[in-house]
Amino acid sequence: MSVSLTLALDAMGGDDAPDMVIGGIDIAHRRFPDVRFLLFGDESRLRPLLAARPQLAAACSVHHTPDVVTAEDRPSQALRKARNSSMRLAIDAVRDGAAGGVVSAGNTGALMAMAKVVLKTLPGIQRPALATCLPTLEGETVMLDLGANVESDEYHLVQFALMGADYAHTVRGVANPKVGLLNVGVEELKGNEIVKAAGQILRAANPPFIFHGFIEGDDINKGTVDVVVTDGFTGNVALKTVEGAARMFTEFMSAAYRDSFRARLGFAVAKPALTALRAHFDPRAYNGAVFLGLNGIVVKSHGGTDEIGFANAVVSAINMIAERLTDRIVADFEHFLAEVVPDSKAAAS
């Protein structure tokens, strides 16, 4: 695929970095041979990995830094002290226009704090939000906010709805995304004051997406909507709850497999079907949460992922840059958000 753009990488973030980072961009490079990679990290570790991959090496520039943000660093510490870290320099490259986006598998809190301070929010966006895709019975759904904010008001939820719809449209190719607000019931009178107010705004406005109304927790995996909108507290709990339920199910499946010779035999015969099933839930396929609403694309990979998972995060960042997701959010702000969110221009500045 011929896509010409540049992506910055925190080459030192993640449990198996930098090996898994280099392995991941190598996979992405085969799919997007014209994309350039700016690697920030320890040159003495990166050079040998690239030397073994001459074709990839030709698409990379290495920017040496010995500093790293660790998993233990608090966001505030990382902001103050880690000005020469691989994570910070990769974000700076986006601010300076050297790259259209950045991917990191490092410390989530530090990445969010740094990206927000360095890149700033897009005009009209008061709060950035963390979004990801999840498997559903119908395919996939986008969910946000997953924890960029611990408290949200109704206007924040409206902004999340718009950004989520733009993400579903540009990156997942959903022409007219259906957006639902996560609530404790589907009737208009259900829920807390903030969710009810956000529902009223979206029903009264003429948003550039289909507002489906309220949805409940079981609608997430049912695939009732293309975009699930919620506050960062509820979204974080819901995402991790899905992950925990999936893990319980797969562990019980493994236990059932170990149960008896007969079970092992049966599962061995059924293996192709089980492999397809497992592929559908492969967490690596859903790796990469995007931090939406900033001047630039910021993708957070799971820290514990392998090169296949990291490649998926990189591919998703490339798609968002290529499809000009941030431009679309800005355009939608002018056509829609500016009408419904009071003082959004002032608040964004």
Can you give the binding site for its own copies, defined by CB under 8 A?
A: 135-137, 147, 150-151, 182, 184, 191-193, 216-222, 230, 232-234, 236-249, 251-253, 256-257, 259-260, 262-263, 265-274, 276-277, 280-281
Least separation in angstroms between CB 144 and its own copies: 14
d(C-alpha 311, C-alpha 287), whole Å: 9
Shortest distance (Å) from residue 57 CB to its own copies: 39
Nearer to its own copies, 61 or 260 (CB): 260
**Residue placing its CB nearer to its own copies in the complex, 148 or 202:** 148
Measured from the CB of residue 105, what is the shortest distance to its own copies in angstroms?
Answer: 18
Taking only Cα atoms into account, the Rg of the chain, rounded to an integer number of angstroms, comes to 21
Q: Where are the alpha helices (DSSP H) in 171-231?
A: 193-204, 219-222
Residue 215, token pair as written in the block: 């949805």
DSSP letter for each residue of 136-160: -SSSEEEEE-SSS-S---HHHHHHH
Pairing of strands 289-292, 129-135: antiparallel
Quick one: 53 or 257, whose CB is closer to its own copies?
257
Contact 38, 11 (CB under 8 A): no
CB of 210 to its own copies, least distance (A): 21
Work out how close the CB of 17 gets to its own copies at its nearest, in angstroms, rounded to a whole number.
22
Q: Is 252 exposed, middle or buried (0-12, 13-18, 19+ CB in 10 A)?
A: exposed
- Rounded to whole angstroms, the Cα distance separating 200 from 113 reads 31
User: Taking the complex as a whole, how short is the minimal distance between the CB of residue 126 and its own copies, in angstroms?
Assistant: 18
Q: Which residue has the tokens 């529902």?
A: 199
**CB of 205 or CB of 274, closer to its own copies:** 274
Least spacing, CB of residue 112 vs its own copies, in Å: 12
Q: For residue 44, what are its two tokens?
A: 């003495």
Place of tokens 């505030």: 76
Q: Which tokens sit at 191?
A: 């829920």
Of 47 and 247, CB closest to its own copies = 247
Q: In this structure, how many other beta carbons lie within 10 angstroms of the beta carbon of residue 83?
A: 12
Would you say 81 or 278 has its CB closer to its own copies?
A: 278
- The candidate with the shortest Cα–Cα distance to 218, out of 209, 203, 228, is 228
Rounded CA separation 141/133 (Å): 5
Please identify, using beta-carbon distances, which residue of 1 and 268 lies nearer to its own copies: 268
> Which two tokens mark 48?
């040998």
Nearest to 145 by CA among 241, 227, 213: 227
Of 243 and 327, nearer to its own copies (C-beta) is: 243
What does the buried/exposed string (b/e) look like for 10-22 if buried means 16 or more CB atoms within 10 Å of the residue's CB? Answer: bbbbbebbbebbb
Report in angstroms how near the CB of residue 250 gets to its own copies at its nearest: 9
83 vs 271, which CB is nearer to its own copies?
A: 271
Distance in Å, CB of 213 to its own copies, minimum:
16
